[in-house]
Amino acid sequence: MSDVSTEQVRSFLLDRFNETFTSMGISPGEVPDDFDLLAEGFIDSFGIVELISDVEERFGFEIDFEDLDPEDLTVIGPFSRFVAEFAFGRKR
Amino acid sequence: MGIKRALYSGFLESCEKFPGRPALDVENQVLSYGELKDRAVSLSLTLEKNALEEPYPLTALLANRSVTAHSGILAILFRGHGYVPLNAAFPVKRLKWILENTECASIIVDSEGEKVIDAILEGMDRSLLLVFPDRNDVSELSAKWKHHRILGARDLESVDQWQGPRAVEPDSIAYILYTSGSTGVPKGVMVSHRNVMALVSAMHKTWPITETDIIFRFSDLSWDASVADLFPAWAKGSLICCPPQKMLLDPSKFISDKKITFLQMTPSHAMLLNSMKCLKPNTFADLRWGILCGESLPMDIAATFSESAPNATVVNGYGITEMTVYSTSYFWDPVRSPGECRNGIVPIGQVLPGYKFLVTDEKLREVRKGEEGELLLGGPQASLGYWKDNAKTKESFIIPPGEKNIFYRSGDIVQKHQESGNLFFKCRKDQQVQIFGVRVELGEIEAALREVTGLTNVVALGWPQTQTGAGGIVAFLETNQIDLTSIRSRLSDLLPRQIIPRDIRTIPQMPLNVNGKIDRQALMPILERASK
């Protein structure tokens, strides 16, 4: 398995929600680390299931979110860091 | 001496029996039965002493996951009123509408509710009593809203003067909950003390708990599953643990840390936990009862949940707000149950004690054994009907031919298995879908879409279709051009977030069926193709 960087996960998320960001007049480069996809109405509860499935498919491994703070699950920065760290831990 | 038993009686008996036992764990504080009672009594006396003219014995509760929310429910019941929960996460327009519809003149507000109170009061001409038990200084609010009577923590009455709760008749309203209405107007379901006491009794018989149980309060107060968290527990002296909103997405750590023994959760939420890998074997070792409720239960989720809670009995709980939370239950057995499931879906099982049911055709005649038909439910949990809507009440609460008692037309098509006697949920007979356990009338979303777009031909569909119901809503608008951002923003003023369409599509012309009506099913292949 290759390394997954925080930036790669973040880019994947920004790309996935590109249309919604654009419709809100937000440029992907300006999306802050603490942008909460759930609170901002980008995804609903089922959207989280879909998002996890897409991320797992994109990076090619299953992710155990048990150790991620529930508050951070839908926040772009912490989510991206967690996935990258999980991949790193898994590789080791 | 003594008054007729009412919904508060079970709680008060627990206060006598276990004054020092913990009753509520919320906002990082634990209140004993005695302490919770004192808070409720003080609040109740404050409401009674200061209330303005109240057309009906109803008090609104703009509170959810706080001490104030729980003491507020009890306070309202103690004063002989029914409670009307207002969910601060709902659109302000809807909350204002509920306040006007119920004509509540007293509101209890917690710190979360405070965030939306200004918006609610804007344009409210009639005078209200507002009590803010979480706020010491209310001078700013009082100065701003001069024609309302506003009280804070310092104004709360002392408990010494309390003479006991007000007597109520068994058919008095205990709460009014608003559910989705097909015409776009929410329906207020009136549930009586008798109804909830029957539910408590049925739950105690079916899923017995004791004073050592620890209950997880998953549902918001605006959803009736919360009723099944609170009253059966308080009547037994159990502890209710209420997590903060932000913890709800993944409550697995909270459930383990608090040693929860009883929880209700939607299958969709269990699926969400599973997708996060938080439903591992033995995750919930302390759990004794795991009630999966609110929508169809897929077999694999029941099995996974059962493995995560090896010491628990996992139950498929089926019910409807109009029949006071729960109507049937099915106990999952890892060995026997897979053979009793159909198309991967767990049966909804048998009716609760005291219940009557019929499976009927369109003329309300019982179908032949084993045939599909609409489920009609009767018994002491049959609610009082719809607030200020006699026509709708008469339409839904009927006396079937050959019967003497009232039955509720559930609109759910079911089938009874002849040998096991288990009921199976098949589908709806109308345009209702279930999203994360909430029954939603597609007509309500279509009415909102018409209002914000001015278009006539609009369709809302439950999509993607999942084993539990629908993941969300997708809307089709017959037009060429739309301003999506504006539509979304205006929809959020009308609809709770969970049912705002996740995708809004345009279509030059709606497909029509042979009768010239919009062919909703013909829109499905468009979505299917897009998802491939």
Amino acid code (one letter) for B100:
E
The nearest CA of chain B is from the CA of A80 a distance in Å of: 15
Task: Write down the residue that tokens 């009753």 correspond to.
Answer: B23
Give me the percent of chain B exceeding a pLDDT of 90.
Answer: 88
List CB contacts (< 8 A) between A19 and chain B: none
Amino acid at B294: G
Which tens digit of pLDDT belongs to each residue from B157-172? 999 999 999 999 999 9
Q: What is the rounded distance in angstroms from the CA atom of residue B26 to the CA atom of residue B221?
A: 14
pLDDT for position B45? 98
Between positions 27 and 46 of A, the ones with CB within 8 A of B are 38, 41, 44-46
Say if residue B104's pLDDT is above 70: yes
B365 and chain A in contact, CB less than 8 A: no
CB contact under 8 A, B268 and A53: no
Within chain A, residue ranges assigned H as helices are 6-16, 18-23, 45-59, 76-91
Dist CA B494 CA B168 (whole Å)? 35
Q: Which of A71-80, B92-101, B163-172, B431-440 has the lowest mean pLDDT?
A: B431-440
CB interface of A with B, residues 52-81, below 8 Å = 52-53, 62-66, 68, 70-71, 73-74
Where are any strands of DSSP class E within B231-351? 239-241, 262-265, 289-293, 313-318, 328-331, 350-351
Q: Which residues of B touch A47 (CB under 8 A)?
A: 471-472, 502
Cβ <8 Å between B277 and A24: no
What stretches of B186-275 show up as alpha helix (H) in DSSP? Answer: 193-206, 225-234, 252-257, 267-275
Q: Under an 8 A CB cutoff, do A44 and B277 touch?
A: no
Closest-CA residue of B relative to A40 is B497
Cβ contact, residue pair A52, B268, below 8 Å: no
Residue of B220, B273, B277, B486 best to disrupt the A interface, most CBs of A under 10 A: B277
Which pLDDT value is given to residue B444?
A: 93
Helix (H) or strand (E) holding B405: none
Query: Which of the listed ranges B155-159, B184-188, B353-357 does the model predict with the highest average pLDDT?
Result: B155-159
Look at residue B1 in the predicted model and tell me its pLDDT. Answer: 42
Closest partner residue to A52 (CB to CB) among B275, B488, B502 is B275
Q: Which of A40, A43, A66 to mutate to test the interface with B (most CBs of B within 10 A)?
A: A66
B245, B269, B275, B466, best to mutate vs chain A, most A CBs in 10 Å: B275
Chain B's closest residue to A42, CA to CA, is: B502
Per-residue pLDDT, A2 = 60
pLDDT tens, position by position, B308-351: 999 999 999 999 999 999 999 999 999 999 999 999 999 999 99
Q: How far, in whole angstroms, is CA A57 from its chain's centroid? A: 13
Closest C-alpha to B256, from B311, B314, B297 = B311
Which of A46, A53, A73 is closest, CB to CB, to B472? A46
| Torsions phi, psi for B298 (to 5 deg) | -70, 140
Cβ(B493)–Cβ(B91) below 8 Å: yes
In B, minimum Cα distance to A21 occurs at: B485
pLDDT at B275 over 80: yes
Q: Which residue of B has its CA nearest to A36?
A: B246
Do B199 and B410 meet the contact criterion of CB atoms below 8 Å apart? no
Q: Are A45 and B271 a contacting pair at CB < 8 A?
A: no
Q: What is the pLDDT of residues B455-499, one digit of tens each?
A: 999 999 999 988 888 999 999 999 988 888 889 889 999 999 889
User: Which ipTM value was assigned to this complex?
Assistant: 0.89
Residue of chain A whose alpha carbon sits nearest to that of B271 = A49
Instruction: Retrieve residue B118's tokens.
Output: 């200004």
In this predicted structure, the answer to whether residue B422 has a pLDDT above a threshold of 80 is: yes
CA distance B308 to B287: 9
Is pLDDT at B2 greater than 60 in this prediction?
no
Q: Cβ contact (<8 Å) for B276 and A52?
A: yes
The confidence score (pLDDT) of residue B182 equals 86
User: Torsions phi, psi of B29, nearest 5?
Assistant: -135, 150
Instruction: Answer whether B278 touches A (CB < 8 Å).
Output: yes
Show the CA angle centred on residue B239, arms to residues B328 and B69, nearest 5°. 85
- Give the burial string for B48-62 (b: 16+ CB within 10 Å, else e): bebbeebebebbbbb
pLDDT score at B328: 97
Cross-chain residue pair A46–B276, CB shorter than 8 Å: no
Q: What is the largest CA-CA distance in chain B?
A: 72
Asked whether the beta carbons of residue A41 and residue B488 sit closer than 8 angstroms, the reply is yes
Q: What are the pLDDT digits (tens) for B126-154?
A: 999 999 999 999 999 999 999 999 999 99
- What are the structure tokens assigned to B451, written together? 């209002």
State residue B517's pLDDT score: 84
Size of interface A-B (CB pairs under 8 A): 68
Cβ of B484 under 8 Å from any chain A Cβ? Answer: yes
Is-contact B251 B204, C-beta < 8 A?
no
Those residues whose C-beta lies under 8 Å from the C-beta of residue B343, and which sit 6 or more positions away, are none
- The larger pLDDT score, comparing residue B172 to residue B525, is at B172
Half-sphere exposure of residue B355, counting CA atoms within 13 Å on the CB side?
28
pLDDT in tens, chain A (92 residues): 568 999 999 999 999 999 888 877 888 888 999 999 988 888 888 899 999 999 999 999 999 998 899 889 999 999 999 999 999 887 66
